Structure 1
Amino acid sequence: MPSMLDAVVVGAGPNGLTAAVELARRGLAVEIFEAAEAIGGGARTEELTLPGFRHDPCSAVHPLGVGSPAFRALPLARYGLEWLHPELPMAHPFPDGTAAVLARSVGETASSLGARDAGGYRRLLAPFLGHWDSIAPDILRTPWLGLPQDPVAWARFGMLAIQPLNWLARRFQDEKARGMLAGLAAHAIAPTSGLATSGIALLFALAGHEVGWPVPRGGSQAIADALGAHLADHGGVVHTDFEVRRLDELPPARAYVFDTSPTALARIAGLGSAYRSYRYGPSVFKLDYALDGPVPWTAPEARRAGTVHIGATRTEIDAALHAAVEGADPSVPFLITAQPSLIDPTRAPAGKHTFWAYGHVPHGWTGDATEVIERQLERFAPGFRDLVLARAVAGPPQLAARNANYVGGDTACGAFAGLQTVLRPKLARVPYATAHPAVFLC
């Protein structure tokens, strides 16, 4: 090891690993220090229920992974990362047994919304189709990196994206379109009246058409493993089981890059109250299932989808999100679910399936949402409970204990609210720089 490293990265989640790879590819000496026993952070895969059933404790479906400009610039397939695409990226079933779908085809998606809204959906997406390679970098980049690649498309997208989803929903007449868009916006874990929630819906819809909503073969751990192997090929070193409590526990380096929460960074680097105004958001209640067969969805489209959103109406979805934000116990939760074993046979023994589901709950909530989540699943897939062989339950305390970045169980690592939707972790010309000239957040 050199007397002084070029960079030390704290945290081996996808952001930390990607930052380390980018530095190492440029010939810099880089080491990562990770508190857990394995790399991955939110991209892990484990046998949480029964032997042979491989579950993703956090992220499972990766439209912004396969579509990431950073990942697309790396030869991760060479290191074993293979994206598997379901027949339908997403289905949103309704109580009458029908469903709206997010298909790779805009036409198929539009048709599923009904005759009155099909044209409106086509017109909404038309300006952005075929432009993912310019739009995605412009949307996902940090705002101080200069002018966007495609200023016209960026401005047009931004004018829509900044709106609350409730405004965007007024373009549509029927519940299928409104409900599907609300479900897409709910990935922000914020009420649909919130600033820029339309942007989340548009981004996920566009990703579905342009790059898909795939899962990695073998589980999300494959993403971390590919990044780790690529890093090793460039001389990077990873230390696991090393919890960093103070900056002086780390080797000398020209720069320290933190893949942690802002508050953890402030504590470790001795930055005091630098992030005292940073807000954390609602949590999730996560369930991983080992099933005796596929989920018996009433809507046939849901049986072909990798991801299934569960919420009967836009109003019902918004009420569930408001309850989580306002500290109320969940009663009729909006659910985001995934069926990776439908397309990846490595996830479960022959004839069996894994199932991934979560609903939203208040920050730090200590209750048990298993019953209300399964009641909601039974509403759209009668007989679901009869297939359950085992379940792994993780509420906010368990999520926070598993990953220190999930403060209060907030898997988004920060509230999607106010200026924090676009300027995080703080209002500054370069928000990821800190008062310490050698310390950065990634």
Structure 2
Amino acid sequence: MDDAGKYDAVVVGSGPNGLAAAITLQQVGVRVLLLEAKGTVGGGMRTAELTLPGFHHDVCSAVHPMGVASPFLRSLPLREFGLEYIHPEVLTAHPFDDGTAAVLYRSLDRTASELGTDGCAYRALLRPLVENWPQIDSHILGPMLKIPEHPFALAAFGLKSLQSGRQAAARFHTREARGLWAGITAHSMIPLENLTSSAIAFVLTIAGHRGGWPIPKGGSQSIADAMARYFQSLGGTIRTDMEVKTLGDLPNARAVLFDTSPQQLLQICGDELSALYRWQLKRHRYGMGVFKVDWALSEPAPFLAEAARKAGTVHLGGTFNEIADGERRVWRGGHPEKPFVLFAQQSIFDVSRAPAGQHTGWAYCHVPNGSSENMSEAITDQVERFAPGFRDTIRAVHTFNTADMEGYNANYIGGDINGGVVNIAQLFNRPALRPSPYRTSAKGLYICSASTPPGGGVHGMCGHYAARQALTDIF
């Protein structure tokens, strides 16, 4: 690539973290080239007509609590560049077989009041964390090995989040509170008995009570497009359809930041890395994969529970024990007959997602990493279980197995959309145990993907902190 001397830094990959890294550098005058292998920017933030013309489906990320919780994304003027969030009244509903549902609202008190006898326990567990979140959000959503500004608030969060989901759920006695907690905890993609499985549940619940679980109008692509427009307004350069296979594919630059998995980093520049660092990257453990289904629907899913019909996100899995048993089975290499399903229904709130009077459905379940099992019927059965007649609304179906997910985004090794297991073993050494998780062993080369702290999700914090490290080291 003949761009000698034109750029100070190159960012490889345009997911939320690649875009965040590019923006952070460009904001202070570093000349940045952002490269993307696909035809559009976005990584996990893309929207496409996967089923029928006029039906716009989010390919990966769909609902964005971390988009509004992220200190970095909140600092950007993305609304000026076309981003608009839609806030469902019901953040998530957790239906049961009798037609009732537990509900997460933005209001902590309203959520607690509908949990009956567990309302007081819910308030006691969550209120201090929600109130203290502004003091610790940058620490939790960033490198953990640093001195905290508010150690007591951080310790309060840490002591709770290091628990397993089952330990945290022991505070509750009702089916409703335990089920609601199980559904949110299952986002961790590790067994609910494992230490730290509560961490993501706490972050998502706190984010919901502080800022909601919003849906970007027009699809998740609108987040990527707004970030790209802002980056270009600062003077940044984007090139798509540019797959990077070796360092020789890049122009000379003082810093290169990789929004890639450790596996891709090894393939691109392994010869430049130390033997110890290569060994550490090879040991990075990837987690559960996902099997995803998108539907074109003639009408919304006919959930029995009224709250589920109003929810942006619906967690389908029944009781705490049912979800815990299913997730444990996936972790051990199995495929539950009744998997835990994350279901989103964006078109109820955003009419741009489907032709007039019609709708979209979005769902996935967890499967073993690299699984080739077709879970389409099992997922559809779970929706039908809580929304009888759902099958009759289906006009067209599109599926992604784990190989399809990795083919769509090379960072999703074996279908793992989180960039690696988020367990206690990889909480501090993600992807390697180093003073800075973003530095590689080679000068000027950095990793800024979801395989670095704080991990998966559309928040951009991995890229932001990696860029700040590069600024400290080089610029």
What TM-score does the superposition give when structure 2 sets the normalisation length? Answer: 0.91
Q: Which residue of 1 aligns with 2:460?
A: none
Matches for 1:228-267 after TM superposition, within 5 Å:
228-267=228-267
Q: Which residue of 2 aligns with 1:155?
A: 155
Matches for 1:36-75 after TM superposition, within 5 Å:
36-75=38-77
The correspondence for 1:341, drawn from 307, 328, 347, is 347
> How far apart are 1:210 and its partner, in Å?
0.4
Helix, strand or coil: the match of 1:185? Answer: helix
Alignment of 1:183 onto 2:183: yes
> How far apart are 1:136 and its partner, in Å?
1.8
Distance in 1 of aligned mates of 2:282 and 2:34: 27
Q: For the Cα contact (< 8 Å) 1:195–1:421, is it kept in 2?
A: no
Q: Which residue of 2 aligns with 1:370?
A: 376
Helix, strand or coil: the match of 1:195? Answer: coil
Q: For the Cα contact (< 8 Å) 1:99–1:112, is it kept in 2?
A: no
Distance in 1 of aligned mates of 2:300 and 2:79: 29
> How far apart are 1:137 and its partner, in Å?
1.4
Provide Cα deviations, 1:351-391, integer angstroms capped at 9, x if missing partner.
11111100111111111111111111111000000000111
Helix, strand or coil: the match of 1:129? Answer: helix
> How far apart are 1:56 and its partner, in Å?
0.4
Distance in 1 of aligned mates of 2:282 and 2:109: 47
Distance in 1 of aligned mates of 2:5 and 2:59: 38
Provide Cα deviations, 1:332-357, integer angstroms capped at 9, x if missing partner.
10011111111111111111111110
Q: For the Cα contact (< 8 Å) 1:76–1:230, is it kept in 2?
A: yes
Alignment of 1:407 onto 2:413: yes
Helix, strand or coil: the match of 2:268? Answer: helix
Distance in 2 of aligned mates of 1:299 and 1:135: 36
> How far apart are 1:2 and its partner, in Å?
6.2
> How far apart are 1:3 and its partner, in Å?
1.1
Q: Using a 3 Å threshold, how does the CA distance of structure 1 residues 25 and 438 change in structure 2: closer, same or farther?
A: same
Helix, strand or coil: the match of 2:286? Answer: coil
Between stretches 413-422 and 150-159, larger displacement belongs to 413-422
Please tell me the residue identity of whatever aligns with 2:407.
A
Distance in 2 of aligned mates of 1:252 and 1:73: 31
Q: Which residue of 2 aligns with 1:396?
A: 402
Q: Which residue of 2 aligns with 1:351?
A: 357
> How far apart are 1:430 and its partner, in Å?
1.1
Q: For the Cα contact (< 8 Å) 2:11–2:34, is it kept in 1?
A: yes
Q: Which residue of 1 aligns with 2:25?
A: 23
Provide Cα deviations, 1:307-354, integer angstroms capped at 9, x if missing partner.
000111111111111121111123110011111111111111111111
Helix, strand or coil: the match of 2:72? Answer: helix
Helix, strand or coil: the match of 1:141? Answer: coil
Q: For the Cα contact (< 8 Å) 1:163–1:198, is it kept in 2?
A: yes
Q: Which residue of 2 aligns with 1:196?
A: 196
Which ranges in structure 1 are unaligned for 5 or more consecutive residues?
Answer: none
- Residue identity over aligned pairs, in percent, reads 48
Q: Which residue of 1 aligns with 2:170?
A: 170
> How far apart are 1:274 and its partner, in Å?
4.3
Provide Cα deviations, 1:71-101, integer angstroms capped at 9, x if missing partner.
0111111100111100111111111111111
Helix, strand or coil: the match of 1:5? Answer: coil
Q: For the Cα contact (< 8 Å) 2:316–2:341, is it kept in 1?
A: yes
Helix, strand or coil: the match of 1:397? Answer: helix
Q: For the Cα contact (< 8 Å) 2:316–2:342, is it kept in 1?
A: yes
Provide Cα deviations, 1:262-303, integer angstroms capped at 9, x if missing partner.
110121012344411100111111001111001100111101
Q: Which residue of 1 aligns with 2:105?
A: 103
> How far apart are 1:176 and its partner, in Å?
1.2
Distance in 2 of aligned mates of 1:130 and 1:372: 40
Helix, strand or coil: the match of 1:358? Answer: strand
The correspondence for 1:88, drawn from 87, 90, 93, is 90
Distance in 2 of aligned mates of 1:93 and 1:422: 35
Q: Which residue of 2 aligns with 1:437?
A: 443
Distance in 2 of aligned mates of 1:83 and 1:298: 27
Q: For the Cα contact (< 8 Å) 1:7–1:28, is it kept in 2?
A: yes
Helix, strand or coil: the match of 1:252? Answer: coil
> How far apart are 1:149 and its partner, in Å?
3.5
Q: For the Cα contact (< 8 Å) 2:196–2:424, is it kept in 1?
A: no
Provide Cα deviations, 1:87-140, integer angstroms capped at 9, x if missing partner.
1111111111111111011122112222x2111001111212334332321210
Q: Which residue of 1 aligns with 2:470?
A: none
Helix, strand or coil: the match of 2:206? Answer: helix
Alignment of 1:3 onto 2:9: no
Q: For the Cα contact (< 8 Å) 1:330–1:369, is it kept in 2?
A: no
Q: Which residue of 2 aligns with 1:288?
A: 294
Indicate the RMSD between aligned Cα atoms, in angstroms.
1.3
The correspondence for 1:297, drawn from 290, 298, 303, is 303
Helix, strand or coil: the match of 1:100? Answer: strand
Provide Cα deviations, 1:238-282, integer angstroms capped at 9, x if missing partner.
111111010121000101100000110121012344411100111
Q: For the Cα contact (< 8 Å) 1:320–1:360, is it kept in 2?
A: no
Distance in 2 of aligned mates of 1:365 and 1:331: 15
What stretches of structure 1 move > 2 A for 4+ residues in a row? 128-135, 146-151, 271-274
